[in-house]
């Protein structure tokens, strides 16, 4: 669905003519025939002016949820009423996901996370309670009359984010709207109106009543936006960052008197920008937007405040900030209710982001390259991009040296991968072969033997079964369990001999 300059369906006072999907007009006619109002509302209307296609369709109506169900029965392919208590009925028609919500007035109890809902009968009143003016526009159906009482078109053209009414009232009704302001700044590249920014700053503590899951979802959309740096900066400047992601504003370390370390906060924002720029298209190894890469870029140095030390002579160090940072990231992401796989991936990238440094000076053995690849596992392509993004120095000679060094490392990885199938490095013997050769049963010793062979594989490359067996035998001869295994085999042999007598 998109806005066009020449279509017969509907011309409004803005001079813009609208062409909408036939399913929108069909639904509007059904409600009109049933005696109810129906309007396309919110993001889908905003996107008409932006020339974008909305994946979902949102409608508002004066019909109650029961009346809505009656109107769509026989027309919708499927429907669900999980949001019924809030006046929302969901349905599917062909490829379209549709939500229809009864006009409503809602407000948050100051101490509650759940909205108190009252249904209304007026479209303009409903629009006034929406988050931002650019989302408080509607198209009445089926006639396609634009309803824009709060200047949404004006604000879209100006690239400014305002609330339909006083921002203090809007954010009191739903504090998550403050997070949405930062998200829209990231997604749409709009500026936040001064009065909106002031209200966000004054009311930042109101975000505390919002569930971690809702905050997480907004944060993901913000980080995946076209300008994530802008959104994060807005969170930090208004104090919301201190409530929802305190590790990021904590990166604004006081500069030491000799200015011998860079601004870690601004550096982290730059790394985020550069990492996003290195994402690939859908056919590449890291299709963008990639939340794992971007969030790891933002959080990669969060261990620095806890590890900062002033050394003799005025130097500043952050020893082991990568390991400390990985632990901090895990804790924060668990608090925000991220899934375990996403937590592990981001934390692992943070833990590994310093591994490359020193490669250009000291050089790595093939063994070290293998370990780098194996430790990164499926995150290797993201780690490549994170490591490259972490170079923000203004010293061009230093930047070039690091870039050339990483080019060399990637070339060596490619060469080793071609020879050794590094994507799936395994010992030359599997668990069954280990147990057969050593005459042992499943247990911890098998794991130790497996790790020994993996270490040999890393250090020396592919050995082949014969050489791996020889080294395993030599290792086994030095293990205390070896004599017990011999005794056990002798006992088994004796018992079998006794059975045959």
Could you read off the pLDDT of 333-374 as tens digits, one per residue? 999 999 999 999 999 999 999 998 867 666 788 888 888 988
pLDDT tens digits, 144-155: 999 999 999 999
Quick check: 437 and 445 in contact, CB under 8 A?
no
Rounded mean pLDDT of 238-242?
A: 98
Compute the distance between CA of residue 136 and CA of residue 153 in angstroms, rounded to an integer. 10
Chain segment 41-94, per-residue pLDDT in tens: 999 999 999 888 777 899 999 999 999 999 999 999 999 988 888 899 999 999
Indicate the domain borders of the chain.
Answer: 2-158, 164-245, 246-424, 431-496
Q: 488, 481 in Cβ contact below 8 A?
A: no
- Predicted pLDDT at 156: 95
Lowest-pLDDT choice from 11-20, 96-105, 373-382, 395-404 = 11-20
CATH class of 246-424: mainly alpha
Model pLDDT, residue 405: 87
For 11, 55, 82, 139, the CA distances from 69, given in Å and listed in that order, are: 31, 22, 13, 21
Q: H/E element holding 178?
A: helix 176-188
* pLDDT for residue 360: 60
Question: Which range has the worst mean pLDDT, 5-14, 161-170, 215-224, 259-268?
Answer: 5-14
Q: pTM value?
A: 0.78
Closest CA to 318 of 264, 248, 375, 390: 264
How does pLDDT run across 453-480, given as a tens digit for each residue?
988 887 788 888 999 999 999 999 888 8
| pLDDT value for 56 | 84
Architecture per CATH, domain 2-158, reads as 2-Layer Sandwich (3.30)
Measured between alpha carbons, how far is residue 451 from residues 195, 429, 430, 458, 476 in Å?
Answer: 61, 11, 11, 10, 13
Q: What pLDDT score was predicted for residue 361?
A: 62
Fold of 164-245: Hydrophobic Seed Protein (1.10.110)
**In contact, 190 and 223? CB cutoff 8 Å:** no
Radius of gyration of the chain (CA): 30
Higher pLDDT, residue 257 or 254: 254
Candidate from 233-242, 282-291, 314-323, 421-430 with smallest mean pLDDT: 421-430
């Amino acid at each position: 669905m998109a806005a066009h300059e020449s279509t017969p369906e509907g011309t409004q006072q803005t001079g813009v003519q609208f062409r909408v999907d036939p399913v929108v007009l069909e639904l509007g006619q059904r409600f009109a025939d049933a005696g109810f109002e129906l309007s396309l509302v919110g993001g889908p209307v905003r996107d008409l002016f932006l020339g974008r296609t909305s994946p979902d369709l949102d409608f508002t109506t004066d019909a109650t949820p029961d009346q809505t169900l009656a109107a769509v029965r026989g027309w919708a392919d499927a429907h669900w009423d999980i949001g019924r208590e809030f006046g929302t009925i969901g349905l599917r028609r062909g490829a379209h996901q549709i939500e229809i919500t009864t006009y409503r007035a809602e407000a948050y109890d100051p101490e509650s996370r759940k909205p108190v809902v009252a249904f209304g009968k007026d479209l303009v009143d409903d629009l006034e309670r929406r988050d931002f003016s650019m989302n408080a526009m509607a198209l009445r159906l089926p006639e396609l009359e634009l309803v824009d009482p709060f200047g949404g078109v004006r604000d879209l053209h100006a690239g400014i984010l305002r609330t339909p009414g006083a921002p203090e009232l809007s954010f009191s009704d739903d504090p998550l709207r403050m997070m949405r302001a930062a998200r829209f700044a990231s997604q749409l590249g709009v500026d936040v109106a001064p009065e909106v920014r002031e209200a966000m700053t004054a009311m930042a503590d109101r975000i505390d009543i919002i569930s971690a899951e809702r905050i997480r979802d907004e944060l993901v959309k913000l980080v995946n936006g076209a300008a994530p740096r802008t959104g994060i900066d807005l969170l930090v400047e208004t104090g919301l960052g201190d409530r929802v992601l305190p590790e990021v504003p904590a990166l604004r370390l006081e500069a030491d008197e000799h200015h011998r370390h860079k601004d870690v906060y601004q550096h982290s924002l730059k790394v985020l920008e550069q990492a996003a720029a290195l994402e690939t298209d859908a056919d590449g190894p890291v299709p963008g937007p990639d939340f794992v890469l971007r969030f790891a870029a933002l959080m990669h140095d969060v261990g620095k405040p806890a590890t900062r030390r002033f050394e003799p002579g005025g130097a500043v160090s952050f020893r082991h900030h990568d390991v400390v940072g990985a632990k901090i990231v895990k804790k924060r992401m668990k608090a925000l209710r991220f899934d375990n796989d996403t937590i592990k991936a981001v934390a692992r990238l943070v833990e590994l982001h310093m591994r490359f440094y020193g490669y250009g000076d000291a050089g790595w053995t093939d063994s070290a390259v293998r370990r780098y690849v194996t430790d990164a596992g499926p995150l290797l392509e993201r780690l490549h991009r994170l490591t490259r993004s972490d170079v923000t120095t203004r010293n061009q000679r230093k930047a070039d040296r690091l870039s050339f060094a990483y080019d060399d490392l990637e070339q060596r990885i490619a060469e080793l991968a071609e020879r050794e199938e590094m994507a799936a490095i395994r010992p030359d013997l599997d668990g069954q072969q280990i147990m057969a050769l050593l005459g042992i049963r499943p247990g911890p010793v098998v794991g130790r033997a497996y790790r020994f062979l993996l270490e040999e594989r890393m250090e020396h490359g592919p050995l082949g079964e014969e050489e791996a067996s020889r080294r395993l035998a030599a290792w086994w001869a030095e293990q205390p369990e070896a004599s017990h295994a011999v005794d056990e085999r002798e006992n088994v042999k004796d018992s079998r001999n006794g059975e045959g007598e």
